[in-house]
Structure 1
Amino acid sequence: MPREFSATRDDVDAIAAWTVIRAARTLARRLGEVLAPLGLSPVEFGALVQLAAGERLTQAELARAVGIRPQSVTTLVAALADRGLLDRGPERGRGRPSRITLTSTGRALLAEAFPVVLASNSWFAGDAEPLSAILAPFVGDATGPADVVP
């Protein structure tokens, strides 16, 4: 007969990965609230800032960099292109990876949004650097998956 399981709130809070997941959801909502006046979602901001950092990325590279499914990036890129925030390049089509770049309009919006998002570091008692260093191995980069953690 299976044993009945019980846990306390302290037991739940002791699971670091679960705490990070819960915190990430809360932080995404808060970031969404501060980006809303600029007409951006956290994922849209992520795409713009990753393009600024990586210059010319393929859709697959952008999906990895932002942490979204490749199926979702097509809709994201189309919406941002329709708003004039990025350029998908002339060589689009099945089997032809296009390189995505920010437009001047995208760079201007990012210039407004970046300080707003950077100010969110104050949510971490003014010093988000140690937290960023701890979490960095889990997020990977634009060139590969984030499935290898030291």
Structure 2
Amino acid sequence: MTQPSLPIQTVHQIRDQCLCLAAQRAARKLARRFDRVFAPLGLTNGQFSMLVALSGQWQPRLGELAEFLAMDATTMTAAAKTLEKRGLLRLDADEKDARARRPVLSEAGHAAVADAVPLWQQEHAKLHAEMPDTDATALARVLSQLS
């Protein structure tokens, strides 16, 4: 029995207009690009994002950090444990709930962020230059509104 296929117009409409597909494709390409940039430091783009999120005054629980980074709790826990094993952060017990953990950057974690930020800045400048007809800052703001 032959499965009915979508009309080619529908396939093209989804290819050309689907925000989800466009965002997924762009996210994958950007992730690979920044993974290559951070590879000499032994970091992925996701690890960079985690470390940057923890480099300020905010001291979230793992669940709060997962929500901020739009990650599920299991993935967040695994990612944090990987960074903990590398000595880039430690997982402290929450003062009010000993079952909860708060990731805190170590000195090595702060140093990794300090090494990674200039690489991010250089690559981001290249990315902006490749998008001369696009306001990349406005695009980032619009994408942030989706989350």
Cα offsets for 1:27-61 (capped at 9, x unmatched): 11111111111100111111101111453111101
Q: Structure 2: which 5+ runs fail to align?
A: none
1:130 aligns with 2:138: yes
After superposition, where does 1:1-150 map in structure 2 within 5 Å?
A: 4-7=6-9, 11=13, 12-53=15-56, 55-90=58-93, 96-121=99-124, 122-124=126-128, 125=131, 127-139=135-147
Q: Percent of counterpart pairs with the same letter?
A: 31
Q: State the 4+ residue runs in structure 1 displaced beyond 4 angstroms.
A: none
Using structure 1 for the length normalisation, give the TM-score: 0.78
Q: Cα gap change, 1:3/1:101 in structure 2, threshold over 3 Å: closer, same or farther?
A: closer
The 8 Å contact of residues 48 and 110 in structure 1, kept in 2 or not, is answered as yes
Shift of 1:118: 2.8
Using structure 2 for the length normalisation, give the TM-score: 0.79
How many Å separate the matches in 2 of 1:56 and 1:106?
Answer: 14
The 8 Å contact of residues 61 and 94 in structure 2, kept in 1 or not, is answered as no
* Rg (Cα) greater in structure: 2
Q: Secondary structure of the residue that 2:8 maps to in structure 1?
A: coil
Q: Structure 1: which 5+ runs fail to align?
A: 140-150
Greater per-residue strand proportion: 2
Q: Cα gap change, 1:123/1:39 in structure 2, threshold over 3 Å: closer, same or farther?
A: same
Shift of 1:91: 5.5
- Equivalent pairs, count: 137
